[in-house]
Homo-oligomer: A and B are copies of this chain.
C-alpha cells in the first residue's frame, strides 16, 4: 500500500465525511433537560397567550369613552369599584362611569377596554379623577397578542437558549422533541502509550489523544465513548473498531505516530469497511484517514497530539456539527504577523500563534511537542491557494 493513496483537499475530505454522516434522530425530553439541546421539530403554541386581557401598567381599568376629552383642567370623574388582585381569576366587571384598579400584569375586568396609568389619575374618596383621555385598547395586551394558538413559537434546528426555555415554560410545553446527542467513540492506538494514571518508563508516553478527543467531542455538544488504549496489532484493533461502531455513531482512532502504525489502522478500516480518504492536504495532519465502517464515519487521526488536534478542528468539527445540528461558533480577531509563515500552494496550513497587543507570533516547533498547544491563543489558516504570509501581513486569528 502506498503511503498516501491520494492526498485530497480539506474541503473534499469534509464533503466525503458529510456524505456518510448518520442522523442520530430525535428524542423527547422534559423541559428541564431541554436547554442547550437542538429542537427536533417546530413547536407551536397550544393555546392563545397570555390567554386573557392583561394590563401592562399599574392603573385604572376604564371604559375609554368615559375619558373622552379628559384633561388636567377638566378630569373625568369615575366611581372606584375596588381593585383586581394579582392572579385572581375574577376581575369583576365595570359599567359606564366606573373604574377599577389593576396592577401591572393583572387581568382587565369585563367591560373595560383601556387602562389609565396611575400617574394620570388622582383618588378622591371613592372617586377617581382621570386627567388624560384613554384610547380603546390602551395599555392592554389582548388574550392572543403574544402568541396565537397554533402559531410556531420556536423553529426546528434552534438551540434552546434561556429565553426560549422561558417561552416554552410560558406555553406549558413540558416535553419536547430534540435531536439526539451523537455518541463518538474514541480509540487510542500505540504500543508506547500508557494511561495518564500510570508512571511512564523511558520510551513510554501517557495517552494524550484520548482526553483531547473526548473533551473536544464534549465541546462540540456530543458524547464521547471511551474505548481505551489498543495495542498496535490488527487483531486487537479489529475487535476494538467492531465494538466501537456498535457503541457509537462515529469513531475517532488516534493512530500511532509511525508509518507502520498508520498503515495498520488503514488496513483494519479497509478490512471492516472502506477507506475513503488516505491523506489530506493539510499541515499538520496529512496522514489522516477517513473511512466508513458499518455506516459509521471513522476518522483515523494522526498520532501526534498537535496534529490530531488540528484535524479535529478542521475536519472532525464539521462532521460533529452536521450530526448534532449544532454549529460551534468560531471567534476570531484580526492581527498582524510578527514573522512570516511559509507554506506550499495546494496545502492548508494551520499555524498556532500567540497574541500580544494585536500582534500574532507564529509558534513553530518540532512535531510531536505539546507546548505550542497550550502556549498559543489560537491559529491562523494559510489557504491552499497561498504560498504563505509575509511578516507584517494582516491575518485573522481564530481563537481557541
Contacts and interface: CB of A to CB of B under 8 A. Distances in A.
A192 B31 contact: no
Contacts of A146: 369-371
Interface stretch (A69-77, A201-209, A266-274): A201-209
Contact of A35 (B147, B167, B215, B309): B215
B199 A172 contact: yes
A166 B104 contact: no
A219 interface: yes
B366 A166 contact: no
Oligomeric state, in number of copies? Answer: 2
Given A49-B370, A163-B309, A165-B211, A105 B400 contact: no
A162 B215 contact: yes
A52 B105 contact: no
Interface residues of A, number: 91
A86 B261 contact: yes
Interface string A143-167: 0011100000110000001111111
Given A166-B209, A331-B331, A203 B172 contact: no
A88 to B, nearest CB: 5
B87 A190 contact: yes
Contacts of A105: 190, 192, 205, 256-258, 303, 368
Interface of A: 31, 35-36, 49-52, 54, 56, 58, 84-91, 103-107, 141, 145-147, 153-154, 161-172, 174, 190-193, 196-213, 215-216, 218-219, 232, 256-261, 303, 305-306, 309, 312, 329, 331, 366-371, 373-374, 400
